[in-house]
Amino acid sequence: MSSLLILALSVCALPFSAAAGPAIFIFGDSTVDVGTNNYINSTFQVNHRPYGIDFPGRIPTGRYSNGFNSADAIVKKLGFMKSPPPFLAIANKSVHTNLQIVRGVNFASGGSGLLYATGFGRGVVPLSEQIQQFRAVRANLNKLLGAAKTESFLKISIVFISTGSNDIFQEFFLTGNATNPEYITSLKCAFEDHLKALYSLGARKFAIASIPALGCCPIIRAANEAGACSDDLNNAALSFYSAIEPMLQSLSSELPEMKYSLGNTYKMITSFFLNPGPSGLSELQSACCGGGKFNAQLECNQTAAVCANRDKYLFWDQYHPTQAASALAAETLYNGTAEFVTPINFKQLVEAC
């Protein structure tokens, strides 16, 4: 059977929309993990109720959400029904792998970060290992399509990255000072190295979500006597964005054909706080699922209280957004203006030649 026929059959067999866009390869942490940690011995596990309460079939999938997450919300913009499957779900299924990888793969692992040390000992898949998994996918593509077609295929594919939050949280909880300039620089350098590694494997289009306003997560508010956000965490998120924006500009000038779109998710979230009306979200401080102060002093588990009006909440649990908030963020990243996405939005990145 020819490679082109295999590819055609693969596309027809996939559980995605017929409106086929480019493939998408997803890297990062729990904001975009769609079940990676279900396949490893990780202490970061959410494959239980009430996670997934609004997912089709009302089943937990390993997504840190009441339903679809940010990975799903972004790929829906490309015409897919949901995120491609986790790499570990298809890694040992050679036939099924060929049916999947022509539409993309999700490598993200909850608890991971830019640094190998982030989440170390907690059974996560660090970003460096996620990239090695992508190397294996590229090898399979070479067998399926041939080297030349694989190169062309990856040039138009999208690499979506959402990471860095866990690095900031870990430094904050360890030292109490997440804004240390040397630490921010180390994250920027690690990010640059990871991007270069992905580029060397054929990636050319990078859609990047920066770090949101971590200091306003319900668990952080709950730890503050006044219920306020943490300036240190928020300033660290801002510092990270300020570090990677010029890095990306420089890197795109250095690497031929590299294109990128950088989403300022910090500014996006704070815009909800300043003017919540247009977002449709009315509860911006408390978690939907949990218990105690800000519904964040107890974890979201089978015995936790769960809000009824989940589409009105920004936060699902102590750290993560609701399905509704993820959809809002995806819309802004995909179609937003230069206020929130630079130098082009995700849609323009997809369409770029």
Active site residues: 30, 317, 320
DSSP state of 206: E
CA gap 45, 47 in Å, rounded? 6
Closest by CA to 288, choosing from 310, 272, 304, 303, is: 310
Burial 169-200 (b: 16+ CB within 10 A, else e): bbbbeeeeebbeeebbeebbebbbebbebbbe
Place of tokens 């006044």: 226
Task: Spell out the alpha helix ranges (H) of the chain.
Answer: 3-13, 70-76, 87-90, 94-101, 127-145, 147-156, 165-175, 181-200, 218-223, 231-254, 265-274, 323-335, 346-351
Q: How far apart, in whole angstroms, are the C-alpha atoms of residue 229 and residue 237?
A: 13
Residue whose C-alpha is closest to residue 210's, from 262, 173, 281: 262
Tokens 């997560």 found at:
217
The residues near 351 (Cβ < 8 Å, ≥ 6 apart) are: none
Instruction: Pick the closest to residue 158 from 23, 251, 335, 28 (CA basis).
Output: 23
DSSP for 240-292? HHHHHHHHHHHHHHHSTT-EEEEE-HHHHHHHHHH--GGGT--EEEEESEEBS
